[in-house]
Amino acid sequence: MEQPGGVRLPRLSRSATRRKAENPGWNNLLAQAVFAGFLALAMAGPWMTSVGGFMMSQYRTIGYLALFIVALVSVRPWQQPQRLLAIPWPIAAALLYCLLSIFWGLSFEDGLRKIALTAIIVWSLFALIREIGAERTVAILRVVMFIVLFCNYFVVLLAPDVGVRPNAIAIWDGPWRGVMGQKNWAGFACAITVLLCVFDAKRVPIALRIGGGIAAGLFLIFTDSATSMGMCLFALFFGGLFYLHSARLGRARLAAPGWAWAPLAVFAILFITMAVNPQPYFELISDPEAFTGRTQIWAALIKLYVDQPLTGVGFGSIWDIGDTRAISQYASGWIIEQSEGHNGYLDLLVQIGAPGTLLVLFATLVWPLERLLRGGDHPARTLGAALMIFCLGHNFTETTLFDRDTVGQVTIMIAIALIWSVTAIAIPAQKPQSPPSPSHAKRKRRRIRASAE
């Protein structure tokens, strides 16, 4: 039944349509522990990579494989094999396209290793979040981020030569990086903590929300991470508007889901025009010092994209693959020594071409946004929307989208899994039953009297 004004029926939250276990079983508790383990490894990843080198990277990979096996156990596929189908179809299609691209890539082995780790992380997060539910997912994420924030402060205040920069003797000697090894990732973690203190936090004591938000915001400022600060403010603004609009409309549809395709159209136009005539884009990034030198990397990536705009060079064929890396033909010096292009969209364009990148954007932007616009009333919707927008914006200066276990990739997959979990299945329309007519009631009374006689 339609509501006044032609609004479609509200949609029920997935979490509202399934029984919530007051006393979770062993598998749910195991899933919660594994989810916390994935978060811990992801947050420790920047430090482990920068400090530990190759061996620490190997240990991290082994850790993910062990957690993946335990995650498989926690979802109990021997009872219901369909639980293995945990990834929504748009994400699965994007992963499959990335897998296919390694067959024309420059390094099949490296590409397979990178897409395998990416797929393991994605499947595990979706499967675990479906098992433990949105409420516990947000609670665990918040606890982990508070612990990371505490560790960052601890290292900055007590060991500035580690938490600030080498040989630093005081906290004012440089931008803060805490335990995460790099200021931009410390800034990312602090921005996520701020969002967790603002959205879907009514169950958190108000003093902890305010204190945690101020502490995270202060650390974010001292990281001097411009991207994280700017995108945190934008995500707060976007999340606030989304919350107010949702509160006004209740569970009703927020807007026509077709509007979710508008951002993809903008990206498509940018990708096509860049392939046809890249000169205007080169002019936009002509200053070699802008964005702390990132423009020099972007110029090389655009040249590479223009040469292979449809197929790309294959997933995982740009960085960290030795002398065969494709970027070596378009740049030299410090640029080819980078581990990323500092722009997730350009990195994807070069690896899987415009069609593949648009598929990834459909899976990570259009499809979740469609679900958000369809309505619902779960508070995690607003948090998921804010996290998704923050991560997508962060990819304009850092590469995390579909990039293995980076903090940004883990966060956006959590955001999309939350959106998928708490957005709804439509309530089937039912026609209102009209009251029986007087003649019908009279005939019914006669039949009753006749049967009694």
Say if residues 232 and 194 touch (Cβ distance below 8 Å): yes
Task: Annotate 377-417 with DSSP letters as a single string.
Answer: --THHHHHHHHHHHHHHHTTTS--TT-TT-HHHHHHHHHHH
Per DSSP, the three-state class of 249 is helix
Banded pLDDT at 450 (limits 50, 70, 90) = low
Q: Among residues of the chain, what percentage have pLDDT more than 70?
A: 87
In the block, tokens 């705009």 appear at 309
Q: Which residue has the higher pLDDT, 443 or 146?
A: 146
Q: What are phi and psi of 11, to 5 degrees?
A: -115, 135
| Mean pLDDT confidence for 331-336 | 86
Q: Which residue has the higher pLDDT, 264 or 338?
A: 264
Banded pLDDT at 21 (limits 50, 70, 90) = very low
Quick: pLDDT tens for 202-227: 899 999 999 999 999 999 999 999 99
Banded pLDDT at 5 (limits 50, 70, 90) = very low
Q: Which residue has the higher pLDDT, 131 or 376?
A: 131
Residue 451's pLDDT is what?
Answer: 52
Per DSSP, the three-state class of 176 is coil
| Mean pLDDT confidence for 405-417 | 96
Residue 447's pLDDT is what?
Answer: 60
| Mean pLDDT confidence for 171-179 | 89
Cα separation, 354 vs 271, in Å, equals 6
Asked whether the CA dihedral 116, 121, 124, 125 is positive or negative, the reply is negative
Say if residues 350 and 301 touch (Cβ distance below 8 Å): yes
Residue 89's pLDDT is what?
Answer: 95
Say if residues 307 and 329 touch (Cβ distance below 8 Å): no
Banded pLDDT at 126 (limits 50, 70, 90) = very high
Least confident of 162-166, 266-270, 309-313: 162-166
Residue 302's pLDDT is what?
Answer: 96
Nearest to 181 by CA among 159, 157, 204, 165: 165
Quick: pLDDT tens for 285-333: 999 888 988 999 999 999 999 999 999 999 998 887 776 677 888 888 8
Per DSSP, the three-state class of 13 is strand
| Mean pLDDT confidence for 349-378 | 93
CA dihedral 258, 262, 267, 269 (to 10 degrees): 110
96, pLDDT greater than 90 = yes
Which three-class secondary structure string do you get for 321-338? CHHHCHHHHCCCHHHHHC
Task: Annotate 183-222 with DSSP letters as a single string.
Answer: HHHHHHHHHHHHHHHHSS-TTS-HHHHHHHHHHHHHHHHH
239, pLDDT greater than 90 = yes
Q: Among residues of the chain, what percentage have pLDDT more than 90?
A: 64
Q: Which residue has the higher pLDDT, 11 or 117?
A: 117
**Lookup: tokens for 172:** 């004012």
Per DSSP, the three-state class of 167 is coil
Q: Which residue has the higher pLDDT, 56 or 274?
A: 274
The model's pTM is 0.87
